[in-house]
């Protein structure tokens, strides 16, 4: 069998891209028009989760920093939107820029220590942040805002507008809205990672000193990556409020952190599209595992819920062993058998013999602190 070579940016490549994006849009629309409401809520959650996973991919996959507690930013965004919407009358869309900016600001502040704390220590600190988040949200001093242990309710009015050429349920409209937001955020991240910005971030991950002498200022770039990644997670939390009207202290807790990590690893760290696959996994893995567990003898209904946690753990370990690059890297390797996309080479440079597929982190690597 012959492999097909497509040049990046050529007409053929453009056509394939348009077909791909068109296909995705068609699938989203088809889901919105055909799926029942309870399914729609799950698809909406996929959109929100995938934005959070994208934020984690930026810092972990591309930035190479083990920031594992993004659930805290996610929970923060949810609380912010819920409080602003329910108590201060800010419109839902109005809360989004606030959430992004506040997330970025907090991410920037937390990124400052991350300049000194790296590797395993950063993993420890960020996981501890996720563990501590529920305690902070439950604090007596904040309970007027956060609703204490019960969490915060905010039913956001989000009805389909009249100008739509087709009729959809409000749940479907929520899904379409979240998909649109997610699409914009994905395109932003994807373009940034293909540009000078992405090269700087990856260069810093692979060789900090080398990057620094090439003019990439480590402190600026690391804190900025941290800030952007936190902003994504915070925005994801805000978007989630549209799909699920309640945020509880545990929304930002350890279990959510590990769920996010699992999703990211399944999709593939350091891949943009992996975030969507991760989002799908985050939403359906518990349901599937409950289903499987229910089929086992001796396991009661309530045990199924607990077992779904175990399935997360098992999948996490399995992926590390079997597919360390996640689903996306796996699929890319598969695709590389049939189609190879080569980057466009300026006429003056010598031709590239073996163009590596664009995959910044096939394997998870980290140096000893």
> Applying CB under 8 A, which residues contact another protein?
66, 68, 113, 116-117, 119-121, 123-125, 127-129, 131-132, 135-136, 138-141, 254, 258, 261, 265, 299, 303, 306-310, 312-317, 319-321, 324, 363-369
Taking each continuous run of H as one helix and of E as one strand, the counts in the chain are 14, 4
Residue closer to another protein (CB basis): 31 or 125? 125
Residue closer to another protein (CB basis): 213 or 301? 301
Specify the DSSP class assigned to residue 42.
Answer: H
CB of 38 to another protein, least distance (A): 25
Contacts 24+ apart (CB under 8 A), 341-348: 341/5, 341/6, 341/7, 341/8, 341/13, 342/5, 342/6, 342/7, 342/8, 343/7, 343/8, 344/7, 344/8, 344/9, 344/10
* Rounded Cα distance, 181 and 102, in Å: 18
Q: Which two tokens stand for residue 153?
A: 């309710």
CB of 327 to another protein, least distance (A): 15
Residue closer to another protein (CB basis): 196 or 368? 368
Q: Which two tokens stand for residue 275?
A: 């975030």
Containing 131, the helix (H) or strand (E) segment is: helix 119-137
CB of 261 to another protein, least distance (A): 7
CB of 175 to another protein, least distance (A): 29
CA torsion through residues 283, 289, 292, 294, sign: negative
Residue closer to another protein (CB basis): 6 or 136? 136
CB of 302 to another protein, least distance (A): 8
Q: Cα(first)–Cα(last) distance of the chain, in Å?
A: 46
CB of 248 to another protein, least distance (A): 15
* Rounded Cα distance, 302 and 306, in Å: 7
CB of 297 to another protein, least distance (A): 13
Between the alpha carbon of residue 125 and those of residues 27, 128, 212, the distances in Å are 40, 5, 25
CB of 343 to another protein, least distance (A): 22
Residue closer to another protein (CB basis): 140 or 162? 140
Residue closer to another protein (CB basis): 347 or 353? 353
* Rounded Cα distance, 54 and 57, in Å: 5
Q: For 238, list phi and psi in degrees, rounded to 5.
A: -65, -45
Residue closer to another protein (CB basis): 47 or 293? 293
Strand partners, 134: none
Residue closer to another protein (CB basis): 58 or 261? 261
Q: Are 65 and 364 in contact (CB under 8 A)?
A: no
């Amino acid at each position: 069998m012959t492999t097909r070579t497509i040049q990046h940016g050529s007409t053929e490549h453009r056509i394939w891209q348009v077909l791909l994006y068109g296909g995705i849009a068609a699938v989203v629309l088809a889901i919105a028009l055909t799926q029942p409401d309870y399914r729609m809520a799950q698809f909406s959650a996929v959109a929100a989760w995938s934005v959070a996973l994208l934020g984690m991919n930026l810092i972990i996959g591309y930035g190479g920093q083990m920031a594992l507690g993004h659930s805290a930013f996610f929970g923060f965004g949810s609380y912010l939107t819920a409080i602003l919407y329910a108590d201060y009358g800010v419109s839902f869309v109005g809360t989004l820029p606030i959430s992004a900016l506040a997330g970025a600001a907090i991410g920037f502040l937390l990124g400052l220590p991350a300049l000194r704390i790296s590797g395993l220590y950063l993993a420890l600190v960020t996981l501890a942040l996720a563990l501590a988040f529920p305690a902070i949200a439950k604090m007596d001093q904040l309970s007027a805002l956060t609703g204490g242990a019960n969490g915060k309710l905010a039913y956001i009015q989000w009805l389909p507008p009249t100008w739509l050429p087709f009729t959809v349920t409000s749940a479907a409209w929520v899904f379409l809205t979240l998909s649109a937001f997610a699409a914009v955020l994905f395109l932003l991240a994807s373009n940034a990672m293909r540009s000078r910005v992405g090269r700087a971030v990856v260069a810093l991950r692979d060789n900090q000193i080398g990057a620094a002498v090439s003019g990439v200022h480590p402190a600026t770039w690391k804190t900025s990556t941290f800030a952007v990644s936190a902003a994504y997670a915070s925005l994801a939390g805000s978007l989630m409020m549209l799909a699920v009207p309640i945020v509880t202290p545990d929304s930002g807790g350890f279990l959510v952190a590990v769920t996010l990590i699992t999703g990211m690893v399944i999709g593939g760290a350091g891949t943009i599209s992996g975030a969507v696959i991760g989002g799908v996994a985050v939403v359906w893995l518990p349901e599937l595992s409950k289903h499987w567990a229910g089929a086992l003898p001796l396991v009661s209904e309530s045990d199924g819920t607990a077992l779904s946690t175990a399935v997360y753990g098992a999948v996490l370990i399995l992926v590390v062993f079997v597919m360390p690059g996640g689903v996306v890297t796996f699929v890319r390797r598969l695709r590389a058998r049939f189609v190879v996309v080569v980057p466009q080479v300026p006429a003056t440079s010598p031709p590239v013999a073996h163009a590596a597929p664009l995959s910044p982190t096939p394997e998870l690597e980290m140096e000893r602190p």
